[in-house]
Structure 1
Amino acid sequence: MVIDYAVDYNKTDESDELKLQIHNAVNQGDLTILMSNYEQDLKNPIKSLVKGSLVRALLIQIQKTKVDGGLAINGIDKLLKSQQLVFGRNERGLIINGENVKFICLKSLNNIEKLIIKKDDNLIDDGKIFIEIINLIIQSKKVIPKQLKSEWISDLNALNEDATSTDDKLKNINRIWNLYGAYFR
């Protein structure tokens, strides 16, 4: 379209070399030849409308914008797919990478409670509890309100303290279920 426009309105020859130069310039996003004619057409808009050059230049610009927008959307789509990030919402809540975040948090909190109940004062159970707490903190970022985040993290960290008895940890778990459970349902 731009090559035909340049040939029609610049009164240039139709050499293959000139067409190739214009084609390469357009591929790199350079519409100088079109824009210079467009600026001239704006000086005499009535005359340009009658001869059709102004409308034609506008249509070419619209088409170029459409192509550029399509390329940008394609690039964003490829970026999201390359990072394998799939965000969405459904009636059950936030979905990331095809998994329901609230369900993951509920499962993690339940695992922590089970580990505390069966804890056999060994480092393996302590490590499992610690990993579940870290996982829960990371996963719950999208679920727990910002106003409660510091208290939430403090409550979870209390579950991993050695000095706290199992009964106190279970009371803390019960309090966590009561206070934060609604955010996971």
Structure 2
Amino acid sequence: MSLINSTVKPFKVNAYRQGKFIEVTDEDLKGRWSVLVFYPGDFTFVCPTELEDLANHYDEFQALGVEVYGVSTDSHFAHKAWHETSSAVGKVQYPLLADMTHQLSRDFEVLIEEDGQALRGTFVIDPEGRIRTVEVHDTGIGRDAVELLRKIRAAQYITAHPGEVCPAKWEEGAETLTPSLDLVGKI
């Protein structure tokens, strides 16, 4: 069953953010756009490049009204240590969630049970708590924050403009499509 348009299940986890331990729940996602970015683990190889890429574009996410959440099965203590020792992860201003029970990774269907780690899963969640995009990669394939921003803009656009759809490679300001009988076979 697809997670698209399903509502985020209730959760409560510890997190690390900018020198503090905090608690993050499903309620924190409501009322604004959110992105959950699951990654396999702290102190690894591809993960810091992805978190740094997100950090380098964090102002753009914030300008779109989007909060970013990094999620792994590591503890919030490990997140703090990694943040303090990695120059790449040290740039991160968004919360790093500690999914130590693995429930969040299971709920988002990205947990590799035998490893106790998550696949690289990216979930765009609308202000009502509904999952609008799902992207899941093998652990060795890194993601691109610029492409994620494009997908968020498209999700926000179609939410604000019911009846319109965004074609491939759509960028903000480009033409959209309005599906109709007259459009069938014309593309």
What band does the TM-score fall into relative to the shorter chain? under 0.3
**TM-score relative to the length of structure 2:** 0.20
Q: Which has the larger radius of gyration?
A: 1
Higher helix fraction: Structure 1 or Structure 2? Answer: 1
Higher strand fraction: Structure 1 or Structure 2? Answer: 2
Q: Which has the higher contact order (CA 8 A, sep 6+)?
A: 2
